[in-house]
Every structure is written in C-alpha cells, then in structure tokens.
Amino acid sequence: MNFALFVQYALSGITVGSIYAIVAIGFNIIYCTTGIINFAQGEFLIVGAMTAISLTRVVPLPVAILGAVVITTLLGGLIELIFIRRVRNASVLRLVIVTIGLSILIREAMLHVWDEKPWSLPYFTGTAVSTVTILGAHISLQVLWVLGVSVVIVTSLTLFFRYTTTGQAMRACADDRMAARLCGINDRWMVTLSFMLSAGIGALAGCIVSPITQTQYDMGAPLAIKGFTVAILGGLGNSMAAVAAGLFLGLLESFVVSVLPASYKEVVAIVVLLSILVFRPTGLFARRGTSALRTA
Amino acid sequence: MRMRLAAILGVLVVGCALLVSGCKKTPSGPGPSATPIKVGAIFAETGGASFLGAPEARTVKMFVEKLNRAGGVNGHKIELLVKDSGGSPEKAISLAKQLIDEDKVLAILGPSTSGETMSIKDICQEGKTILLSCAAAEKIVEPIAPFVFKTPQKDSDAARRIYETMKELAISKIGVVTSNDGFGIAGGEQLAKLAPEYGITIAISETYDKQATDLQDVLTKVMSAEVQGVVNWSIVPAQSLVAKNMKQIGFDVPLFQSHGFGNIKYVEQGGEAANGTIFPCGRLLVADVLPADHPQKNVLVEYKKDYESQYKEDASTFGGHAYDAILVLVEGIKKANSVERDQVRAAIETLQGVVGTGGVFNFSPTDHNGLAKDAFEVLTVKDGKFAVYQKQPGRN
C-alpha cells in the first residue's frame, strides 16, 4: 500500500467516523439526564434532514436548517410530554422499549409525510465533486463541516453541562433523581429539556450528514446502531470520548476493508460492540466508576 | 297462519323470478354488465424496495382505470387488488396464497423483487394462477414454469451490453462492486460468467452493504487494483454514492452501472458526479429523443405523459415493467377470448410483437420473457439528464 492510498483510507475512515460521532452525541444527552438510551435518536436525524429538505424549497439553506432544528426540537419535547412522561412505573428498561416503539412510529409517519425516495440537502460549500487534497489524497469539503460542527457541539455541550445551572441540574437528575428533586430541581422538565436538546442536535446532525449519506425515511435505524456502538465505545455520557470513538470505529472499518473483503465491514461494529460490553463496559475512555453502564 | 305462508311463498316466487332473470342477463354476451375479471398485484409499495413497488402500483392502477373507462377488455371490467408486500418474501407468500385461494384471481402482477418472486413461483404454478413478475432475475423464467412470466429485460443481456461498450472503449481490466441483495448478487454472477467471453478480466470484485452511507473505502480498494473501468450493480441509493465517492477520491475511470440506475432520482442525488455514467437501460428514459419511427416511440411517450400528469413525478423504467405486465395480460385475454386461466396462459405464450415499454415482446413456450438483447439501449448521463450513449471519437 503506497502512502497516498494509506492516507485515502484514513480520510475515508474519518468521513464515516465523523458521521458516527455526531450521531453518538445525541444518545449521550438523553442518557446523561435520564439514564435511558433513546432508540428513536436515528429518526430525529432523518426528521430534521427531511424537514430541512422540504424547507429549502421556500427559504435559503441556513434558514431551512435552523427551521428544521427548531421544529425537530419542539417535536422532541412533544414526544417526551405525550409518551415518556405518561409511562407509569417508569423503569429504564420500560422507557427504552417505549423509545423503540417511537422509532417505528416516527419512521412510518415519515413514509406518509414524505415518500420512499432518497433526498439530500445540497453540499454546504462547493458541489459533490469538490474536495481538498491532503498528502496526495482527497476529502470532501462536507466532511470538514461535519467535523467542525461536531467540535462546536461537543464544546458547547461540555460547557453547558459543567458551568450552567440548568446543565448541572440535568446532570444531577441523572445521578440521583430523588436527591435532585429534594434540592428543588424540577426533574420532569429536565427530562423534557434533554429530549428537546437531543432532538435538536440530532436534526442538526441529520442536516449536516445529508449531502454525504443522502436521506431516506428508513435510514435512521442503521445510523442509530452505529451511533449507539460509538456511544458505548466511548463510554456513555461522555461526548468528547464519543467523537474520538467515532473516528476510531470509522478508521478501523476503513482499514479492515483494505485487507478483508468489503462484505466483512459491517461485522466490525458488532464485534467492537460485543467486545466492549464483555471486556470494558465502562467504555474505552472512562475512568473507573465515573459512568458505569446503568442496570437499574 | 295460511296468509303468512302464502306471503312467504309469494316472496320466494318473486325472488326466484328475479334470480332467473338476473342469470339470464349474464350470458347475453360481452357488455358492460359482464362479471369483472379479478387481477391481483403484489408490489413492495413500502420498505427498502419501494422505489420499485411504488411506481409499479401507481402504474397498474392508472392502466386499469383507463382500461375500465374505455369499457374494459372483451367487455369485462378489471377489478384490481393491489397488495403491499413491503419487499418481504414471507409477506409475498401469504399474499399470494390469499389472492389465489380466497380471491381466486386470474393472474398476479409482480412482485417487485427477485427474492419475492422466487418464493411464490411454485405457489402460483401449483395454484395454476398466471404470474407476471416485474423482477429481473433470470431464474424466474429459467427453468420455465408454465404459469410464470416476467417483463423486465434479462440481467445477462445488461451485462452483455456493458461489456460490448467496454470493448468499444478498449477497456479490459475492470473492478466490480455490487450490493449485498438479490439484485446485486445475481448481477455479480452474470458479470463474472460473461467476462471471459468478451476478453475482460475482473481484477477485483467487492460487495457492500445495501444500506451503506459511504463507499470511499471500498472504492479506494478498487482504485488500488489499477483497473480501467468500474461496474456497480445495485438498485439501492448507493448507486449515486459510488459516482460521488469515485470523484471525491479522485478515481477517474469510466463508471458503468446496471439497468438499476434508470431513475432520474439517482442522477439528481449524484449531482455533477453522475455525469458520464454509462448504463444499459430500457428506452423509456429517452422516449422524447427517440426517432419518430421507432416502434416503441408511441407507447413510451404516451405512458410517460399519462404517468407524469397523473402522479406529478418522473416515470421510471420500473413502473414500465408493471405497465408491460398488465399489457401482456390484457393482450393474452383478448387473444384467448376467454377468462379461463389455462386458456389465457396458453395465449400469452403465443403472443408476438407486443410493443411495451421494455421492448417488443415475442413470447414462446420456451421463452417466458420475450425480450431480446436489443431491448436495452446504452445510455449515459449528460448535464444531469439521460441521453443515448454515443462513442466519442476523442476517447479510447
């Protein structure tokens, strides 16, 4: 393998890895507040992207994306109010099952609102063929957008959770719901807020990856599975680690393809997921005891 | 008491009289009151293969509406029962059984995919119900089951047209990428089987996931094999990804696709990158630019116009396969002058020169597809539109 080819595999890994990472971030927000995994996260991405695609027919791209994020954020809040909040004896497992049901519901609704065809947003800068050259290999400009936006999202989230009262309150809810309530935190609204936040970030992610992946109503689930793997790999609740883990999985897949037949590529994520659950359930980057996988 | 008995008797007598007069009416020959012919259809209107099934279902509905408005076939209206399989072979099986046993249909149109068709091939044969599949795989009609037909062109003919074009361009070493579904696997097999016949070497052959969202790594691998051309054989949206990713990694060799690329949606998704893609396809996509004396010109232009004005979306060759399926059935009924399954089946087998959207059909007891290699035209993409491919003298 010559050097340029090596770099090309690496860049291709970074492309998919950046997509995995941005999906994984959405999982982390809801997990941080409620301790549940939201399996409808993939659908938030698609709803966001589809809404933006529809909006681009009447408004310019940036406005369309902003509109899509706002609409999906409201949808996230609405879903929490209607479905999650009403679950009685809400154990983590029960809520997770509810989100699986929600993902099917949203997917079928999207099939009727939009249609079965693939759509996509235009490339943010340049066109499908514009690339930058790094060390003799090429990478699409859109990937730089994905990476850039991931960094911005992760930084703002970290600051939000660490330094604002609301952010700290959300974390407190995750840690001990009863204790948080005793401190005067309205835990129910914190959960609603976390759904809105992750729906909004999901929508933004969906819009940014849309030019690369294309958007089809049933694409949420495969994206969510990869995002979920990456979130576990990085350690649930840790967004910074999720980005690192996303890039790691992307690169791993890419180099596996370089030596094995490409049909084995899909096995990589599953093998990684299983081994991490068996050997290091706290995630690659977690310090001991900080974010153990919840079993309650 | 006696009064009541008389009343009941009276009602019975009147009822019988009505029944008899009712019965008398039916055999009075083909008129608008003749019993409707039940025709079933199984299409993947939703799910992963919906880009096939949705236009197919819309097409047959449109065709039947138009036919019934014009008085039906041999005086019979057609009653269409469209079922959605979601692309699942299991669901196709239960729908086929339902259509055959409960609805007792004359024929079943579809299914959309090869996997579904193969799983109901035997059921239709045993149930002695005509099956007019809209799926591509050659095993559907090979070996022949007397009741099973298919309308799309053959995979092997598509592969042949691709290889012929490659020979013109002096390409001999190629890479093949296929999706991991029935269509991709069957196409990969045909390409591998026919390559030696055309003196072409497949240097590398890779399979990717049908839901892939990025294929740069696979294509980097193909690029490293130093091939002169790439064939992608799939029906999934990844077709546009292949075009985009090749341009993005600076892999500049001709890209050939299968007839699955015949949907302008994929060109739109591929944007600028789709330009120059070469693929074999039915003539529907270039209907407007066909010479006026081409035998298919009228059929194609009319179908396209009807479909596009009714559904406000571009017609695709997939919808065309369904058009051909119902057309062949109607021609068979006309020729048989009967609505008995056996007689219609035998009539379809002898149909000659039926002009459809996929080509001119000439059926025989040994050919249940009826199309020849020339049903495919080699097309290319020029400035985001389909055009007939012509060898450029400057390129070798």
pLDDT at B147: 96
- Interface probe with B: pick from A133, A134, A259, A265, most Cβ of B within 10 Å: A265
pLDDT at A279: 87
Cβ of residue A222 closer than 8 Å to a chain B Cβ? yes
**Which run of H or of E encompasses A64?**
helix A61-79
User: Across residues B222-235, what is the average pLDDT?
Assistant: 93
pLDDT (tens digit per residue) in B355-387: 999 999 999 999 999 999 889 999 999 998 898
Q: How confident is the model at residue A195 (pLDDT cuts 50, 70, 90)?
A: very high
Cβ–Cβ of A9/B213 closer than 8 Å? no
Q: How confident is the model at residue B270 (pLDDT cuts 50, 70, 90)?
A: confident
pLDDT (tens digit per residue) in A202-220: 999 999 999 988 898 888 9
User: Across residues A182-200, what is the average pLDDT?
Assistant: 90
Average pLDDT score, chain A:
87
For residue A118, pLDDT over 70 is answered with: yes
Cβ–Cβ of A263/B217 closer than 8 Å? no
Distance CA B233, CA B261 (A): 9
User: Contact A15/A139 with Cβ under 8 angstroms?
Assistant: yes
pLDDT at B21: 46
**Which run of H or of E encompasses A146?**
helix A141-163
**Which run of H or of E encompasses B40?**
strand B37-43
Q: Are strands B37-43 and B107-109 parallel, antiparallel or unpaired?
A: parallel
Lookup result for tokens 């005891």 = A289
pLDDT at A1: 67
Cis check: omega of the bond before A60, within 30 degrees of 0 = no
Extract the tokens encoding A199.
Answer: 């729906």
Cβ of residue B86 closer than 8 Å to a chain A Cβ? no
User: Across residues B97-102, what is the average pLDDT?
Assistant: 95
For residue B353, pLDDT over 90 is answered with: yes
| pTM recorded for the entire structure | 0.79
Cβ of residue A112 closer than 8 Å to a chain B Cβ? no
Cβ of residue A104 closer than 8 Å to a chain B Cβ? no
Positive or negative, the Cα torsion across B177, B179, B184, B189?
Answer: positive
pLDDT at A86: 85
Residue A197: C-alpha distances to residues A50, A139, A160, A266 (Å): 18, 30, 11, 30
For residue A158, pLDDT over 90 is answered with: no
For residue A287, pLDDT over 60 is answered with: no
Residue of B nearest to A13 (CA): B217
- Would you list the DSSP string of B343-364? HHHHHHHT---EE-SS-EE--B
Of B177, B220, B265, the CB nearest to A117: B265
B367 DSSP assignment: B
Cβ of residue B220 closer than 8 Å to a chain A Cβ? yes
Q: How confident is the model at residue B204 (pLDDT cuts 50, 70, 90)?
A: very high
Amino acid letter, residue B323: Y
Strands of the B148-150 sheet, one edge to the other: B78-84, B37-43, B107-109, B130-133, B148-150
User: Across residues B182-202, what is the average pLDDT?
Assistant: 92
pLDDT at B30: 46
The region of weakest confidence among A40-44, A278-282, B253-257 is A278-282
Cβ–Cβ of A117/B249 closer than 8 Å? no
Chain centre distance of CA B361: 13
Cβ–Cβ of B213/A222 closer than 8 Å? yes
Closest CA relative to residue A251, chosen from A9, A80, A70: A9
Compute how many other C-beta atoms are within 10 angstroms of the C-beta atom of residue B337. 11
Share of chain B above pLDDT 70, in %: 90
pLDDT at B263: 80
pLDDT at B3: 54
Cβ of residue A214 closer than 8 Å to a chain B Cβ? yes
In three-state form (DSSP H/G/I as H, E/B as E, the rest C), the secondary structure along A8-35 is HHHHHHHHHHHHHHHHHHHHHHHHHHHC
A119 DSSP assignment: B
Closest CA relative to residue B151, chosen from B164, B132, B137: B132
Distance CA B108, CA B325 (A): 9
User: Across residues B253-265, what is the average pLDDT?
Assistant: 89
Decide which of B191 and A161 is more confident.
B191
Beta bridge partners, B244, equal: none
For residue B235, pLDDT over 60 is answered with: yes
- Would you list the DSSP string of B256-294? EE-GGG--HHHHHHHGGGGTT-EEEE-GGGGGGGS-TT-
User: Across residues B42-63, what is the average pLDDT?
Assistant: 90
Of B54, B209, B273, the CB nearest to A128: B273
For residue B19, pLDDT over 80 is answered with: no
Cβ of residue B362 closer than 8 Å to a chain A Cβ? no
Distance CA B340, CA B358 (A): 27
Of B207, B249, B272, the CB nearest to A128: B272
User: Contact B356/B327 with Cβ under 8 angstroms?
Assistant: yes
Q: How confident is the model at residue A280 (pLDDT cuts 50, 70, 90)?
A: confident
pLDDT (tens digit per residue) in A33-78: 777 888 999 999 999 999 999 999 999 999 999 999 999 999 999 9
Q: Which residues contact A62 (CB under 8 A, 6 or more apart)?
A: none
Distance CA B77, CA B36 (A): 5
pLDDT at B160: 94
**Which run of H or of E encompasses B177?**
strand B173-179
pLDDT at B35: 87
Decide which of B19 and A200 is more confident.
A200
pLDDT at B91: 94
pLDDT at A126: 83
pLDDT at B7: 58
User: Contact A283/A232 with Cβ under 8 angstroms?
Assistant: yes
Closest CA relative to residue A61, chosen from A182, A142, A169, A144: A142
For residue B218, pLDDT over 90 is answered with: yes
pLDDT at B24: 41
In three-state form (DSSP H/G/I as H, E/B as E, the rest C), the secondary structure along A206-251 is HHHHHHHHCECCCCHHHHHHHHHHHHHHHCCCCHHHHHHHHHHHHH
Cβ of residue A109 closer than 8 Å to a chain B Cβ? no
Distance CA A222, CA A228 (A): 10
Closest CA relative to residue B113, chosen from B141, B154, B85, B78: B85
Q: How confident is the model at residue A85 (pLDDT cuts 50, 70, 90)?
A: confident
pLDDT at A292: 42
Residue B58: C-alpha distances to residues B74, B116, B133, B312, B315 (Å): 24, 19, 16, 11, 10
pLDDT at B13: 52
Distance CA B225, CA B67 (A): 54
Q: How confident is the model at residue A94 (pLDDT cuts 50, 70, 90)?
A: confident
Measured between beta carbons, which residues in chain B are less than 8 angstroms from residue A213?
Answer: 213-214
Gyration radius from chain B CA atoms: 24
Q: Of the spans A58-72, A124-138, A279-293, B223-237, which averages the highest pLDDT?
A: A58-72
Measured between beta carbons, which residues in chain B are less than 8 angstroms from residue A212?
Answer: 213-214
Extract the tokens encoding B217.
Answer: 């790594």
Residue B110: C-alpha distances to residues A296, B38, B121, B156, B323 (Å): 50, 15, 11, 21, 11
Residue of B nearest to A7 (CA): B220
Amino acid letter, residue B134: C
pLDDT at B20: 45
Residue B62: C-alpha distances to residues A74, B29, B43, B323, B391 (Å): 40, 27, 15, 9, 38
Cβ of residue B51 closer than 8 Å to a chain A Cβ? yes
User: Contact B204/B229 with Cβ under 8 angstroms?
Assistant: no
Of B220, B237, B249, the CB nearest to A118: B237
- Judged by phi (left if over 0) then psi (alpha if -120 to 50, else beta), residue A185 lies in beta
Helical H segments across chain B, by residue range: 2-25, 50-69, 89-97, 114-126, 155-168, 182-194, 216-224, 238-248, 264-270, 297-311, 317-336, 341-349
Closest CA relative to residue B104, chosen from B79, B121, B85, B140: B79
Average pLDDT score, chain B:
88
Of A16, A111, A138, the CB nearest to B248: A138
Distance CA B279, CA B274 (A): 11
CA atoms within a 13 Å half-sphere pointing along the CA-CB vector of A112: 5
